[in-house]
Amino acid sequence: MKTNQEFKNQALAALKGNWGRALLATLVYAIILTIATAPNIWGTLEMQAYLTEKGGMTLSTAASIIQDPAYQLLQQKANGTSALLFVLEVFLILPLSVGFANALRRLLVSADNDVLGNTFQLSFSNYWHKVLGMLLMVILTALWSLLLVIPGIIKSFSYAMTRYILEENPELSAREAIHRSRMMMRGHKFDLFWLYLSFIGWLILSFFTFGIGLLWLVPYMETAQAAFYEEVKADYAVNGGLD
């Protein structure tokens, strides 16, 4: 298994001369995510502001606040925006995450630097296959998280290669793509966790720039993860691809 630094070096080599394209794709991706989630965030803030105005949701005020028509209206609005967010996440955000990850993988593997164009092209090609695969992955992770937080986190690492497998192996069903990710990640879940952890310093620095640094950090991390995928995929093939 390669070291974290080797994965990072591969990512930096791929991004060299292509940072502008990667940043543009990341910015557009971030804007879409922000627009999609903004109504839900705004609704939550409205409810919080109302509760603060009424003295907070204390035992003494809870009953009156819950029965308040103004609060019920805010609650209905919040429920509606949550439902809209769910629809947007399933049919837009999830396939878009597949396209973005694989656009950076293409940059890494074949030096195809049309990151923005590939993000959209790969998001909506074989669309329903990617929607179903990612939705199933989210559901399975959520079900494991119901047991305890730790099992959910572990499973999220097990399923982490699904985004790439859905794109590279359209002949596989959603369940088969997730299963292959699980097989690839056997013995490598901590390796991926350690790779994520190695970016913690850059993440902290990004917060000091009010999140602007994330425009550089996100494509850096995604490209390094694509390099990680190529490594575990090769290891899986060497071991016969046994399920």
Give tens-digit pLDDT for 153-196: 999 999 999 999 999 999 999 999 999 999 999 999 999 999 99
Dihedral sign from CA coordinates of 65, 70, 74, 75: positive
DSSP states of 16-41 as a string?
TTTHHHHHHHHHHHHHHHHHHHHHHH
Q: Would the pLDDT of 243 be above 60?
A: no
Tell me which residue has tokens 């950090």.
217
Contact of 154 with 189, CB cutoff 8 Å: yes
Q: Give pLDDT, residue 89.
A: 85
What digits encode the pLDDT tens for the residues 76-129? 555 555 667 778 888 999 999 999 999 999 999 999 999 999 999 999 999 999
Contact of 97 with 134, CB cutoff 8 Å: yes
Q: In the structure, what pLDDT confidence band is assigned to residue 35 with cuts at 50, 70 and 90?
A: confident
C-alpha dist (Å) from residue 10 to 4, 79, 99, 146, 156? 10, 44, 20, 37, 24
Q: Would the pLDDT of 75 be above 90?
A: no
Contact of 7 with 200, CB cutoff 8 Å: no
Q: How many whole angstroms separate alpha carbon 185 and alpha carbon 182?
A: 5
Q: Where are the beta strands (DSSP E) in 128-174?
A: none
Q: Give pLDDT, residue 210.
A: 86
Q: Give pLDDT, residue 59.
A: 46
Q: Give pLDDT, residue 39.
A: 65
Q: What pTM did the predictor assign?
A: 0.85
CB burial of 230-240 (b: ≥16 within 10 Å; e: otherwise) equals bbbbeebeeee
Pick from 148, 194, 156: which is nearest to 178 by CA? 156
